[in-house]
Structure 1
Amino acid sequence: MLLKILSFLLPWSLRRRALIRWFGYDIHPTARLGYAWVFPTKLIMAEKSRIDHFTVAIHLDLVQLDAEATIGRSNWITGFPSDSDSPHFRHQASTRRAELRLGKASAVTKNHHLDCTNSLTIGAFATVAGYNSQFLTHSINVLDNRQDSAPIHIGAYTFVGTNVVVLGGAVLPDYCVLGAKSLLNKAHTAEWTLYGGVPARAVSELPRTAAYFNRSEGFVY
């Protein structure tokens, strides 16, 4: 804990070196971590990736950001490490990993809650937009009376609208949009589709010529 506090207080040029030396993290020289409490077991930040101020990421096996991926301000990212000696999730000991993986040029904006008790994967050029969305990979299985979890996959070139809820086992396929305030609670398969509602269902097809789906850089002007 003392090393974490000391590293947090250092200017970035020194802080990066301390995080690499003291915690074994892999942080590219062009990556940047703001005043954020980010201490997974393993942290990988590729070139030009960024985690902004006031984000918290704890109790995780892995946080990995590919090139130019970003996590905005004030996100709460939690998990339940796979090496815990707690009886929770013991039935998933060989399959569960508490991980957050962001693909190239993907973005999580600000004020979201990402529960990574099981793996949460966000594909390349995807955007988790707006505010106050919840990604919940774990819950109580009332039939078996135990904590249970399942991974969430958000595909490449997807757009996730504001204030959504995404539950464990859900899949948003590549080149899709999830409408604001929707509940995604299962694995969908159809690409180029707008999903929306509670629970989310296919609403309409999306044009493959839409500029968002054909970007070569993550930033949207």
Structure 2
Amino acid sequence: MRTLLAVSAAVLPGALRRFVHTRLLGYELAPTASIGHSIIDVDHLVMGERARIGHLVAMRGLEQVRLDEGAVVLMLVWVNAVRRSTGYFQGLEGRRPELLMGRHSLISVMHFVDACDLVELRDFAAIAGFGSIVQTHAVDMERMVQDASPVRIGEYSLVATRALLLPGAEVPPRSIVAAGSVVTRKLEGSYVFAGSPARAARPLSSDLPFFTRTHTEIA
């Protein structure tokens, strides 16, 4: 029934769509939060003031999605997960199929996010450009099981076009992952990270305007 309601809401006009999301599905939307013509089939959704999910977004299988104040998912973004109740990840303690987006964080256009474990964008973090993949699960070849690890993107950091973030990847605060790069582990420091696997290419100044901005808009 929840899936049917979520799919139906995607084609309804604004007021009816909000009614289905808040009254029937129980999502918590601030008065200025909005959801476009999108399929949002998750257990628990919380959206702060001016948070926004645009058109043609699909979110399914997550136990929790939270967009803090001003966080935005633009359009043509697919966020997929597998609930713990399915038993698919046998023996994996602490797995959290969640998407958490801090204040004024951003996922732009045509990205794929595998949130079988936690995916977290902290305040002002951005998955920008087009065609990036965030992947939290993979096959453990030794144990012959599906394994999962969180992916985190630090404050004010930017992940550029067609980047790949693999299980356990962590992008440090005030850094940039260059287009086409592959992040396979926890990175450290304020750098442009580039390559496959991504390595520090050049240092960044912490006082760059991009790292000190107080709003999401870029002219």
Q: Above 0.5 in TM-score? A: yes
RMSD of aligned C-alpha atoms? 1.1
> How far 1:124 moved relative to its partner?
0.8
Letter of the aligned partner of 2:57 in structure 1? T
> Which residue matches 1:201?
199
Q: Does 1:157 align with 2:156?
A: yes
Instruction: Name the residue aligned to 1:80.
Output: 82
Instruction: Give distance in 1, aligned partners of 2:75 and 2:10.
Output: 16
Q: Secondary structure at the match of 1:19?
A: helix
1:204 is matched by which residue type in structure 2?
Answer: R
Q: Which amino acid aligns with 2:30?
A: H
Equivalence for 1:167? 166
The CA deviation at 1:15 is: 1.8
Residues 86-101 of structure 1: pairs in structure 2 closer than 5 A: 86=87, 88-92=88-92, 94-101=93-100
- 2:9 aligned residue: 7
Aligned equivalent of 2:187:
188
Query: Match of 1:37?
Result: 39
Describe the shift of the 1:178–1:19 C-alpha distance in structure 2 as closer, same or farther (beyond 3 A). same
State the 1:98 CA deviation: 0.4
Match of 2:53 among 44, 51, 54: 51
Contact 2:7 2:39 in 1 (8 A): no
Q: Which runs of 5+ in 2 are unaligned?
A: none
Q: How many Å apart are 1:64 and its aligned residue?
A: 0.8
Per-residue deviation, residues 90-117 of structure 1 (Å, max 9, x unmatched)? 211x401100011100111100000000
How much does 1:5 deviate? 3.8
SS in 1 for 2:9: helix
> Which of the residues 212, 215, 220 maps onto 2:218?
220
SS in 1 for 2:152: strand
Letter in 1 for 2:200: A
**Inter-partner Cα distance in structure 1 for 2:157 and 2:5:** 38
3-state DSSP class of the match of 2:66?
strand
- Counterpart code for 1:96: R
**CA contact 2:34–2:52 (8 Å) conserved in 1:** yes
TM-score by length of 1: 0.95
Equivalences for residues 60-71 of structure 1 within 5 A:
60-71=62-73
**2:115: which partner in 1?**
116
Q: Name stretches of at least 5 consecutive residues in structure 1 with no aligned partner.
A: none
1:146–1:35: structure 2 CA closer, same or farther, 3 Å change rule? same
Deviation, 1:7, is 2.8
CA contact (8 A) 2:10 2:36 kept: no
**In the alignment, which residue of structure 2 is the partner of 1:18?**
20
Paired residue type of 1:78: N
Paired with 2:126 and 2:198, the residues of 1 have a C-alpha distance of 18
